Structure formats: structure tokens, C-alpha cells
Amino acid sequence: MTRPHLILGEALFDIFPDGTRVLGGAPFNVAWNLHQLHEPACFVGGIGDDANGALIRQRMEAIGMQRRGLYVHPEAPTGQVRVTLEHGEPSYTILPDQAYDDVPDSWADNLPDTAAFLYHGTLALRSGNRVLLERLRARADHRFVDVNLRAPWYAIDDVLALVRKADVVKLNHEEAAELAPDVPADQRAATLLERCAIRSALIVTHGKDGATIHTTTGERYQAPAPAVPHLRDAVGAGDAFASVVILGMQRGWDWPAILHRALEFAAAVCGLQGATTEDLAFYRRATATWEKPVRK
């Protein structure tokens, strides 16, 4: 039986300037994308016992997404984030004391005993969930950490500790500068690989300029971002990228294939409002070329 990946973190609603509410949260987006790409995923996170929480359960049920990891908090509300956009690029106002901040350690007893990957970010560990994280780390073969620095909800030392000994770490170039401010830009990736004892690769994203994969064996793969003909917003683009990295590693793709396909999928998501869709045709179109050889 195929083991599901454990995806730990926040499920929330992104509230856009026009009042539109879009289901999101980086870990939830990753779990949703993996499911829609036919890769088993168990999302682990808290929602409130409220209308927004009920809507999340309904949306997951509608696409057949596994709900055994969804914890309903008796008091805290389902998470919300207010999104503002400038030239399609998002910025976020994140509320405190949300349901995803407080999932009991014992919730691990409801989850799969083993997993190929544990994915987590940094936001849902801002004030709790640390013991739960350790319990899940012991069950997974590999760990993927997605650095999401959202002021004021992080401390650099905490982030470095969370990144340490991960198999794969993804962050953007601004976050890399925050984690290694004492190092010249062209040396930051190698420094972070060493300082944080990363086991496989560090991925640095550069927005419209693409991404670079730095491996522990000294390889470097860089590619520009594909054009986005009908840009809606870049919300969830990084989460889309992370989803394909996990998918590709699980399926045995090489790094160049992972990089190009992750960038293509991220660009496709930029044509959506928000990060997720129930439209399976979108996923079929976005992955239509994946069986073809990748130009290296």
C-alpha cells in the first residue's frame, strides 16, 4: 500500500482586496496539489469549529482528500490571512492565535505510522506544535522544510533550528539573505547547506527569475521562470513548486526534470486566483508535457 506524505501546517482562507476568499495556507496548498496530482497526502493541521472550518471539510470531501489529519479546535478560529497585491505579487497580514497554531501532541495517534515525506513550513510552528512535529519526524523517511518568513511571526534562530538536518529546504533569495546575512550572496547556498547540515538540496527561488537547486554533492541547476500569459496573482506559486519537488523526488526524477516541471507548474498556478482549484482539467493541462524528456 502506498504511504501518504505527511503535510503539517496551516489551513486558512486568503482574503483578497475585493472580498474574495480563497482556501489556502502553504502546507494545505501542497497537500491539495499532491492529491490532485494523484500523490497520496495526509494534511495535518487545525481548523476551527466554525463556518470556515466546515467549508474546509466540505472542500476536502468534494475532491476526496484525506481528512484523518484534520483537527477541529474547540475554541480557536479557522485561520485567515489578508492579502494585498502589487503588480500581482502578494503580501500578507497574518492573524494570531488561530486553530492551526494549537494541534495537540496526541493528535499524532490518529495519523499514519510511516510516511515517505514529512513536509512542513515555519508559520504553524510559530507558537506551538513542536512536540507534534518531533513525533511526525520519527515516522518519515525524508523531511522537506519550506521556509516562509512572515513578520513578525519568526525568530531567525528558531528557523535555523527547524531547517537543520532537513533533506530538502526551499526558500526565496530574500529569506536566504535573512538566514545568512554575514555571507556574500554567491556563497549563501553553500553556507546554509553546511551550517544547517542539509542532507540533499537547498532550493532558492527568485520569483519571475526562476529558481536554483544546490545539492550537497556540489551540483547547481538553474532555470528561469516560464512566461505567464494570463497572470492573476502569484499566491501559492511557491507551494505549487514545492508540491512538484516532492512528487518528483518520490517518482525518481532527476534534479533538472524536477526544476523545470516545478517551475512550469508554479507558472500555471499564477493563472489562478489563489493557490488551488477543484478543476482536474487544470492539473491535466499543467502536467501534459511531463512524460516528455526534459531539455537539460
Count of domains observed in the chain: 1
Identify which has the larger pLDDT, 290 or 115: 115
> Which range, of 19-23, 32-36, 46-50, 126-130, averages the lowest pLDDT?
19-23
Residue 293 lies in a domain: no
Closest by CA to 201, choosing from 242, 229, 237, is 242
d(Cα 13, Cα 29) in Å, to the nearest integer? 11
Assess whether pLDDT exceeds 80 at residue 2. no
Instruction: Find the domain containing 280 and state its range.
Output: 5-284
Would you state the torsion angle of the CA atoms of residues 226, 228, 234, 240, taken in this order, to the nearest 10 degrees?
-50
C-alpha cell at 217: 554533492
Cα angle: 190, vertex 191, 192; to 5 degrees: 95
pLDDT for 294 equals 47
Residue 61 lies in a domain: yes
Residue 292 lies in a domain: no
69-80 exposure pattern, b = at least 16 Cβ within 10 A, e = fewer: bbbebeebbbbb
176 CB-contact burial (10 Å; exposed 0-12 / middle 13-18 / buried 19+):
buried
Identify which has the larger pLDDT, 210 or 81: 210
Residue 296 lies in a domain: no
Assess whether pLDDT exceeds 70 at residue 219. yes
Q: Which residue shows C-alpha cell 497537500? A: 31
Residue 291 lies in a domain: no
d(Cα 241, Cα 148) in Å, to the nearest integer? 14
Give the rounded percent of residues in the chain with a pLDDT score beyond 90.
73
Residue 289 lies in a domain: no
Residue 166 lies in a domain: yes
Residue 195 lies in a domain: yes
Q: Of the segments 120-124, 213-217, 281-285, which one has the largest average pLDDT value?
A: 213-217
Sequence-ordered list of residues with C-beta below 8 angstroms from that of 186, at least 6 positions apart, any chain: none
pLDDT for 293 equals 47
Relative to beta strand 5-8, strand 41-48 is parallel
CATH number for the domain spanning 262: value is 3.40.1190.20
Would you state the torsion angle of the CA atoms of residues 257, 183, 127, 141, taken in this order, to the nearest 10 degrees?
40
Assess whether pLDDT exceeds 60 at residue 87. yes
